Structure 1
């Protein structure tokens, strides 16, 4: 399996490209602000063909470039239905105190092909020869999703629900600390300690390391 990462924009958002190998199809996860050029470089260098874009949640720092990328490659975009509204209207998912000028340049439009994931009936995404399980983990946002890649090395891409050494915030619109902990517990308990944790900001970790810090993950 081929895993590539990139850090996007002034919000320093982690995004990921996952493929079965070089010269194959790939999925793009969380294309943040000013990520188009970096992603095109990765795709070209490794001879990849994007086949889907997956969003861990609807916050604008994770969805900023989803419209131009989905149009460029002609691929569907997967997002939980509870967060879909934020893709075209990012301000609706942010606190009233958030500086509006930081949204300048956001496309404020929805891609033409948006599909559900993480909701009943859409828990698995099959794309680019990969099997990706979409786990609903509400709490940071109502429609946050963690993606478990079942093909090859076990990967859990958590967005802003779980970071290396800390939990995601739950004090924004639609946040719920209890649901966040319960969702992470449900998802993580069956997984192996060696599962690689790839968060939306900061460095990677493993599930084993996070279990040492958070008893509810054991």
Structure 2
């Protein structure tokens, strides 16, 4: 599997490009900004985007998705519970002092257990509400890989003080959906450095009893 991680936008969101070396089909996760850079990496590997996956509808994760869809024709997928956040995109832009981006409605929703697949590569959606009501993670078990969005970070967890946040739901999502994964699962959070499920279970101060 090809896996490129680009830090994009003013909040340095981790955008993942996942591609199959044989079919050259790709999934792009959280294209929050810097679409020319994303397109350049796709071109370097000869990849064709088949799906655009958004872990949650905060501006730093979704702002570039519409433009990427225009350029590639790939459908945009995110959980319908985050539609209220899309409707307040102008307010989100105001938080950062940036122009309001065009944000498309999802072409399909990301329900828990939904299979996300291109030729040669597949994963499943884990619905993990808490950071937002529609937050999801993408789990690719054959690669021992979890793209965690802003649900789980190295040594931390997602903030819950923004609209749609709920601390109880967040911690429940992490304990019930993420910490049940194998310890050696690599976690790519929405921001910052990678970690593993085992490391976070053992040492994340927000997850200790």
Q: Normalized against structure 1, the TM-score is what?
A: 0.87
Q: 1:162 aligns with which of 141, 152, 155?
A: 152
- Partner of 1:65 in structure 2? 64
SS of 1:139 mapped into structure 2: coil
SS of 2:183 mapped into structure 1: coil
Tell me whether 1:175 sits opposite 2:169 in the alignment.
no
Superposition deviation, residue 118 in structure 1: 2.4
Superposition deviation, residue 126 in structure 1: 2.1
C-alpha RMSD of matched pairs (Å): 2.2
Number of aligned positions between the proteins? 208
- Partner of 1:188 in structure 2? 178
Superposition deviation, residue 22 in structure 1: 6.4
Query: 1:88 touches 1:108 (CA, 8 Å); kept in 2?
Result: no
Using the alignment, how far apart are the partners of 1:145 and 1:162 within structure 2? Answer: 11
Q: Normalized against structure 2, the TM-score is what?
A: 0.90
Superposition deviation, residue 11 in structure 1: 1.1
Query: 1:123 touches 1:133 (CA, 8 Å); kept in 2?
Result: yes
- Partner of 1:117 in structure 2? 110
Query: 1:88 touches 1:109 (CA, 8 Å); kept in 2?
Result: no
Superposition deviation, residue 106 in structure 1: 3.1
Q: What does 1:205-216 align with in structure 2 at a 5 Å threshold?
A: 205-214=195-204
Using the alignment, how far apart are the partners of 2:161 and 2:154 within structure 1? Answer: 19
Superposition deviation, residue 208 in structure 1: 1.1
Query: 1:26 touches 1:51 (CA, 8 Å); kept in 2?
Result: yes
Structure 1 alignment gaps of length 5 or more: none
Tell me whether 1:76 sits opposite 2:78 in the alignment.
no
Using the alignment, how far apart are the partners of 2:178 and 2:102 within structure 1? Answer: 34
**Residue deviations 1:154-206 (CA, integer Å, cap 9, x gap):** 11111111111101101111111111111111212331111000001111011
